[in-house]
Structure 1
Amino acid sequence: MRILLVEDDALLGDGIRAGLGIAAYAVDWVRDGETALRALLDHDYDACILDLGLPRRDGIGVLQALRGAGKSTPVLVLTARDTPDDKIAGLDSGADDYLTKPFDLGEMQARLRALLRRAGGQASPLLRHRDVTLDPAARRVTCKGEEITLSAREYALLQEFLQHPKHIRSRAQLEESLYAWGEEAGSNTVEVYVHHLRKKFGSDFIRTVRGLGYQLGGEA
């Protein structure tokens, strides 16, 4: 899952990026509103974590411009502005959730999971396909009730497929979901991880759609 983090505090931003990285998110981090807006308009992020007190363009301005452009990217506001009027302004400007500083990293990640779940139209907190179940909160994957060990990239790729069960995902789309800015993907990286997942869950768990990409195989 690809996340845009917009935070101008270097220490806080580094901590959030590290925490999300451990949870297998690919995180792009920017520190001002203008750069954030360009990134949001140019890329299809799964979600955005947005501070409000930003240089060059305030977070409210970013939200209004984003929604004015018709982009529906889920946005979690993360800010020190904690009055009821601040929260109302943020939500009415297009934020999907609002969390005030100081905050607990676990709560922030839970809110992010809820945003992603709602954006995907999923009621259950668990992602399932056939005999495979992924629990994003526990970062636990089971197949027929047995826990399966995955690398961080394998986990991220599996989550991407389960989050979009009916979509055909091109190699470029999958690479974008796995790698943040500055992380280079090898020429056959996606193919390697797809091969690993097929070995663990069955050769038909992910099917190749010739000329288009990959899709979960068969019925859920």
Structure 2
Amino acid sequence: EGAAKVVGISLCQRLRSHGYSTPILLITARDTSTDKVNGLDAGADDYVVKPVDLPELLARIRALLRRGNTSSPPILQWGSLKLDPSSYEVSYRDQPLRLTPKEYSLLELFLRNGRRVLSRSMIIDHVWSFEAPPSPDTVKAHIKSLRQKLKAVGTPDDVIETIHSIGYRLKQIS
């Protein structure tokens, strides 16, 4: 059950970090307030604890489907850097940025987490597949390439800062 919780929450985070807006309902035996908060904070739209009352579950599913995903996801912004998850467009001061799919996923992950420090393993979990995890050098190379493209359009130096021996985060833009 512990592994299922981690996989469910990790899958939920991965789907959201890749821009999926389909409603997610977690069904689990984990019933503490902390478990529920973690599930909802990971991007779930609803959290149901087993055993499940079938009429209630069906009503919750109908409610999620009524809500739908008619609204486009909000544009992610950090200073003048903008990422539009619905069109997959990135710009800095209205100047478009051409990114590879991995660079786009990395930037989206950073923008969704702001000043939060992301470890390499956290980045790998969100940007790469379980079947083909990259080496730490691959992560560094993709971040370096993303930094170069950001700098080329005029973002402040090292908008993605390295936190020594811990990971990376977005630098505060004044």
Residue identity (%)? 20
Matched-pair contact (CA < 8 Å) for 2:12–2:44: no
Contact 1:156 1:178 in 2 (8 A): yes
The equivalent position to 1:140 in structure 2, one of 80, 86, 89, is 89
1:206 and 1:146 map into 2 onto residues whose CA distance is 19
Q: 1:38 to 1:149 in 2, by over 3 A?
A: closer
How many residue pairs end up in the alignment? 149
Which residue of 2 is the match for residue 39 of structure 1? Answer: 7
Normalised by the length of structure 1, the TM-score is 0.55
Q: Does 1:63 align with 2:27?
A: yes
**1:65 is aligned with what amino acid?**
A
DSSP-derived class of the 2:124 partner: helix
Amino acid at match of 1:88: A
Counterparts of 1:152-163 in structure 2, within 5 Å, are 152-163=101-112
Deviations 1:141-196 (Å, cap 9, x if unpaired)? 01111111100000000000000011011111111111122122133121111111
Q: Distance between the aligned counterparts of 1:67 and 1:179, measured in 2?
A: 30
Q: Secondary structure at the match of 2:65?
A: strand
The one-letter code of the counterpart of 1:99 is: L
Residues 66 and 146 of structure 1: CA distance in aligned 2, closer, same or farther (over 3 Å): farther
Letter in 2 for 1:214: Y
Equivalence for 2:52? none
Q: 1:39 to 1:143 in 2, by over 3 A?
A: same
1:36 deviation in Å?
5.4
1:177 aligned residue? 126
SS of the aligned residue for 2:146 comes to: helix
Residue aligning to 1:214: 168
Q: 1:193 to 1:90 in 2, by over 3 A?
A: same
**CA contact 2:5–2:28 (8 Å) conserved in 1:** no
2:65 maps to 99
1:129 to 78, 103, 113: 78
Report the residue type matching 2:148 in the other structure: K
Structure 2 CA distance for partners of 1:179 and 1:204, relative to 1, 3 Å:
same
Structure 1 gap ranges (5+) = 1-34, 52-58, 78-83, 92-96, 101-106, 115-124
Change (3 A) 1:190 1:76: same
Q: Partners of 1:167 and 1:127 in 2: how far apart?
A: 15
Which of 134, 143, 151 aligns to 2:100? It is: 151
